[in-house]
């Protein structure tokens, strides 16, 4: 279905709680991020007409009703709320909910919040036995924890396109350099290729410094209708708009994990569908009426350094098998044609699941405003985000100024 003729909403405020391993209730991080976003927007809590919360499933019942949890933390005002869970795409779906309310004319100002407190180690499946869930099955049948899963993608890239361990290490080196100047990042330390390749092997060919951590953190946005934003126009801060939000799912017979489906043999008689991940940003480009050639910067989901290379191709920055050349030529580093993960990415932040798609948008807002001190992409006008939540949740947000 086509998007409305003008499907833009304005981003009036962006806020984050620094990522780390703080061990405090997740609502504290969301509250801090929300207050920062409201201050950035020059609005008060009572100006908010809708709250869209991204859920966390590892923090008890308050995490399952995150919208109400954040509204309570800010002080009950009777504001309508929603709470959504879409795995790693939860933040993007929360943005989509708020955007829909605004475009429908049901509110002028919406607050989007996501925050998480995470356990040590990798994320294990929750919710009991789920024998129709490829994620649960890979843990139960294969013993394939997330790092193993990431390593399968990395090994496939090496076999198909000739990627090397040095390429994967260079992604980490690039993102660590980007994150040095980001005050919200958890890891702010430059590394060398030798240091990356000298770190412990976790899942061949991926080493410890090439796999993202689990983190605590929070992020928030204040979105508004274009009319509301125009009425408040003034000052020197450029207006940034959300022009598209993609939350697509795979097309049968693709499996969510883009590997042979555990569940069916009928796929052999079905015409192969386009890949899932390339469809994610493609839907956002189509909504906004632009293409990847217009993009100034991207924030992508680097669960591992190797996976970032796949995303270069999936969001259309280059053709299949060409990502290594982009990296080696410096195209995706600050100062290059299309910097990728100028925030430092998950490499420097780690995963705080409901917050991370929102955090990607926060970084894009700061970049498009020209306020990303120390890591600024000069002249940035268009930014795109991309990530993938388990069980078929695509996530891409396209922003412009």
**Residue 174's closest CA among 356, 342, 377?**
342
- Provide the pLDDT confidence category of residue 127 given band limits of 50, 70 and 90: confident
**DSSP label of 399:** E
**Residue 303's closest CA among 145, 195, 178?**
145
> What six digits make up the tokens of 367?
């970049």
Spell out a b/e string for 100-112, using b for 16 or more CB atoms within 10 Å of the CB, else e: bbbbeeebbbbbb
Max CA pair span of the chain: 60
Q: How many CB atoms lie within 10 A of CB 228?
A: 18
**How does pLDDT run across 344-367, given as a tens digit for each residue?**
999 999 999 999 999 999 999 999
Distance CA 17, CA 29 (A): 6
**How does pLDDT run across 113-122, given as a tens digit for each residue?**
999 999 887 7
Distance CA 374, CA 283 (A): 32
> What six digits make up the tokens of 6?
């003008």
**How does pLDDT run across 201-210, given as a tens digit for each residue?**
999 999 999 9
Report strand pairing: 9-20 vs 109-116. unpaired
266 has pLDDT over 50: no
**How does pLDDT run across 55-89, given as a tens digit for each residue?**
999 899 999 999 999 999 999 999 999 999 999 99
pLDDT (mean) for 288-306? 97
DSSP secondary structure of 264-294 = -SGGGGSPPPPPHHHHHHHHHHHHHT--GGG
In the chain, the domains with their CATH numbers are: 9-121+217-231 (3.40.47.10), 134-210+241-400 (3.40.47.10)
170 has pLDDT over 60: yes
- Residue recorded with tokens 């013993």: 143
Note the pLDDT of residue 64. 95
On whether the CB atoms of residues 394 and 388 are closer than 8 A, the answer is yes
On whether the CB atoms of residues 113 and 70 are closer than 8 A, the answer is yes
268 has pLDDT over 50: no
On whether the CB atoms of residues 38 and 113 are closer than 8 A, the answer is no
Note the pLDDT of residue 120. 82
3-class SS at 41?
A: helix
Choose the weakest-confidence range: 113-117, 258-262, 289-293.
Answer: 258-262
pLDDT (mean) for 15-35? 97
**How does pLDDT run across 128-146, given as a tens digit for each residue?**
787 877 777 877 888 888 8
- Provide the pLDDT confidence category of residue 333 given band limits of 50, 70 and 90: very high
More confident residue, 14 or 139: 14
**DSSP label of 118:** -
- Provide the pLDDT confidence category of residue 264 given band limits of 50, 70 and 90: very low
More confident residue, 264 or 51: 51
Note the pLDDT of residue 141. 82
- Provide the pLDDT confidence category of residue 272 given band limits of 50, 70 and 90: very low
Average pLDDT, the chain: 91
231: Cβ–Cβ under 8 A, 6 or more apart, which residues?
none
User: Nearest-5° angle of CA 57, CA 63, CA 69?
Assistant: 165
């Amino acid at each position: 279905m086509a998007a409305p003729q003008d499907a833009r909403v304005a981003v009036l405020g962006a806020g984050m709680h620094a990522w780390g391993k703080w061990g405090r209730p997740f609502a504290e991080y969301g509250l801090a991020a929300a207050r920062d976003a409201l201050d950035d927007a020059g609005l008060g809590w009572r100006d908010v007409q809708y709250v869209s919360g991204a859920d966390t499933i590892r923090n008890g019942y308050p995490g399952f009703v995150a919208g109400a949890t954040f509204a309570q933390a800010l002080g009950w005002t009777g504001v309508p709320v929603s709470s959504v869970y879409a795995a790693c795409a939860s933040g993007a779906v929360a943005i989509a909910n708020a955007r829909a309310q605004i475009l429908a004319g049901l509110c002028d100002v919406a607050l989007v919040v996501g925050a998480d407190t995470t356990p040590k180690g990798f994320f294990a499946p929750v919710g009991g036995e789920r024998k129709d869930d490829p994620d649960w099955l890979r843990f139960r049948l294969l013993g394939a924890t997330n790092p193993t899963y990431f390593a399968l993608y990395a090994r496939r890239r090496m076999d198909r396109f000739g990627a090397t361990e040095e390429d994967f290490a260079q992604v980490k080196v690039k993102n660590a350099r980007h994150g040095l100047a980001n005050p919200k990042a958890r890891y702010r330390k430059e590394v060398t290729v030798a240091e990356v390749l000298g770190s412990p092997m976790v899942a061949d060919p991926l080493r410890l410094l090439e796999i993202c951590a689990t983190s605590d953190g929070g992020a928030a946005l204040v979105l508004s209708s274009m009319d509301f934003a125009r009425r408040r126009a003034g000052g020197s801060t450029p207006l940034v708009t959300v022009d598209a939000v993609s939350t697509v799912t795979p097309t049968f017979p693709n499996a969510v994990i883009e590997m042979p489906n555990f569940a069916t043999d009928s796929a052999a008689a079905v015409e192969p569908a386009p890949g899932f991940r390339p469809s994610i940003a493609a839907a956002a480009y189509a909504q906004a009426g632009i293409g990847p050639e217009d993009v100034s910067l991207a924030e992508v989901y680097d669960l591992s350094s190797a996976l970032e290379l796949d995303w270069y191709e999936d969001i259309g920055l280059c053709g299949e098998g060409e990502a290594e050349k982009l990296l080696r030529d410096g195209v995706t580093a600050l100062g290059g044609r299309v910097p990728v993960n100028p925030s430092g990415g998950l490499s420097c932040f780690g995963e705080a699941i409901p917050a991370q798609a929102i955090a990607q948008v926060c970084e894009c807002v700061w970049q498009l405003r020209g306020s990303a001190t120390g890591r600024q992409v000069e002249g940035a006008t268009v930014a795109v985000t991309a990530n993938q939540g388990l069980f078929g949740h695509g996530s891409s947000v396209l922003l412009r100024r």
